[in-house]
């Protein structure tokens, strides 16, 4: 990858968790990993579809989408460096604009499938609703909205514990993460005008060795480990993130939905 990573000049102590992991060589930046992505994409009916991906990050899922032969691919990513990386990655088979997921500038009813992973969790309640409304606007009737996000469990999780997880997570990853229960995610999509066609869950195992191997491969995992050993500040951050993930392992789960625009 030749293009510069997002926030390349920011020190490790203050970098949002996903860009810190990217700096260390991680390419899959979502809670359920490639396996949950594949389950979600499998139910999203990509072939022949006009696809819009919100917040493609480093373009890993973009590449997966392209192998399933969509009619078109358009990414909308608000980080300029990430958008450049995605553009390099999709080449002539798609494009990626720098933009806001809640205001893509795309025409009404111009897509069959909108995809967004690990991007709603980091929005406020109002922004979550605005992005879902934008997905509904851009989709044709009957179009699909596929998301992959972080959830809390069980649905009856005590409110105080929920706040505790959200605050600890936000502190560790330095992103204002606001995961919700699976039921709350579902309700948000339904209120936004969607019916739920498919739900899948996977353990939130972003930093567990088995998941690292599955997501990054052996070489990628070794590169990540080597970079971690070489960078004291980054290692401290990653260990802190991992500690939080382990502490709330029971309360966190990755969830994906395929929802249909009514
Ligand atoms: C955790 S990363 C996930 C990247 C990628 N979807 C993945 O799963 O590997 C979050 C991404 O969302 C992008 N992002 C966050 N808020 C956004 C918004 N409002 N509009 C567009 N992109 C956004 C960030 O720049 C970043 O690329």
Give which of 70, 53, 49 is closest to 62, Cα–Cα. Answer: 53
Residue 69's domain spans which residues? 17-261
79 C-beta closer than 6 A to ligand 1: yes
How sure is the predictor about 233, in pLDDT bands with cuts at 50, 70 and 90? very high
* Nearest ligand 1 atom, CA 37: 8
* Nearest ligand 1 atom, CA 127: 19
Q: Per the structure, how many domains does the chain have? A: 1
* Residue 7 included in any domain: no
Q: Say whether pLDDT at 26 is over 70.
A: yes
* Residue 101 included in any domain: yes
* Residue 88 included in any domain: yes
60 C-beta closer than 6 A to ligand 1: yes
Q: Say whether pLDDT at 35 is over 50.
A: yes
Query: How confident is the model over 11-23, as a mean pLDDT?
Result: 94
26 C-beta closer than 6 A to ligand 1: no
Q: Give the Cα separation of 103 and 188 in Å (integer).
A: 18
pTM over 0.75: yes
**Each residue of 129-181: pLDDT tens digit?**
999 999 999 999 999 999 999 999 999 999 999 999 999 999 999 999 999 99
Q: Say whether pLDDT at 126 is over 70.
A: yes
Which one-letter DSSP state was computed for residue 209? H
Q: Give the Cα separation of 185 and 143 in Å (integer).
A: 19
Mean pLDDT of the chain: 96
259 C-beta closer than 6 A to ligand 1: no
* Residue 9 included in any domain: no
Query: How confident is the model over 194-219, as a mean pLDDT?
Result: 96
Q: Give the Cα separation of 114 and 198 in Å (integer).
A: 15
* Nearest ligand 1 atom, CA 6: 25
**Each residue of 41-66: pLDDT tens digit?**
999 999 999 999 999 999 999 999 99
- The CA 121 to ligand 1 mean position distance, Å, reads 10
Angle, alpha carbons 31-36-39 (nearest 5°): 160
* Residue 207 included in any domain: yes
Query: How confident is the model over 190-206, as a mean pLDDT?
Result: 97
The residue nearest atom 7 of ligand 1, judged by CA position, is 29
The residue nearest atom 5 of ligand 1, judged by CA position, is 57
How sure is the predictor about 101, in pLDDT bands with cuts at 50, 70 and 90? very high
Q: Which of 55, 121, 133, 169 to mutate to test the pocket of ligand 1 (most atoms within 8 A of CB)?
A: 55
Give which of 180, 181, 42, 174 is closest to 115, Cα–Cα. Answer: 42
Q: Give the Cα separation of 22 and 19 in Å (integer).
A: 5
Share of the chain above pLDDT 70, in %: 99
* Residue 11 included in any domain: no
- The CA 116 to ligand 1 mean position distance, Å, reads 8
Q: Say whether pLDDT at 1 is over 50.
A: no
Q: Which residues contact 224 (CB under 8 A, 6 or more apart)?
A: 24, 25, 26, 212, 216
The residue nearest atom 14 of ligand 1, judged by CA position, is 55
117 C-beta closer than 6 A to ligand 1: yes
17 C-beta closer than 6 A to ligand 1: no
Backbone angles phi, psi at 66, to 5 degrees: -65, -30
pLDDT recorded at residue 9: 87
* Residue 1 included in any domain: no
216 C-beta closer than 6 A to ligand 1: no
> Is the previous residue joined to 27 through a cis bond, with omega within 30 degrees of 0?
no
* Residue 113 included in any domain: yes
CATH code, domain carrying 204: 3.40.50.150
- The CA 112 to ligand 1 mean position distance, Å, reads 21
């Amino acid at each position: 990858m030749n293009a510069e990573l997002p926030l390349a000049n920011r020190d490790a102590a203050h970098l949002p968790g996903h860009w810190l992991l990217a700096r260390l060589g991680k390419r899959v930046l979502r809670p359920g990993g490639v396996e949950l992505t594949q389950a979600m994409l499998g139910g999203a009916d990509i072939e022949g579809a006009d696809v819009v991906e919100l917040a493609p990050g480093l373009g890993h899922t973009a590449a997966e989408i392209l192998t399933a032969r969509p009619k078109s691919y358009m990414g909308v990513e608000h980080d300029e460096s990430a958008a450049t990386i995605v553009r390099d990655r999709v080449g002539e088979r798609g494009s990626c604009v720098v933009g806001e997921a809640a205001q893509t500038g795309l025409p009404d009813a111009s897509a069959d499938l909108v995809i967004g992973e690990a991007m709603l969790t980091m929005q406020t309640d109002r922004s979550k609703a605005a992005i879902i409304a934008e997905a509904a606007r851009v989709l044709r009737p009957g179009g699909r909205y596929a998301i992959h996000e972080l959830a809390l469990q069980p649905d009856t999780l005590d409110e105080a514990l929920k706040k505790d997880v959200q605050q600890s997570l936000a502190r560790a990853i330095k992103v204002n993460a606001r995961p919700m229960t699976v039921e709350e995610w579902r309700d948000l999509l339904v209120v936004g005008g969607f019916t739920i066609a498919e739900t899948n869950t996977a353990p939130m195992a972003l930093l567990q060795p088995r998941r690292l191997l599955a997501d990054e491969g052996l070489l990628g995992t070794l590169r990540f480990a080597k970079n971690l050993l070489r960078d004291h500040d980054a290692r401290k951050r990653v260990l802190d993130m991992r500690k939080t993930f382990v502490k709330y392992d029971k309360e966190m789960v990755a969830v994906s939905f395929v929802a249909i625009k009514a």
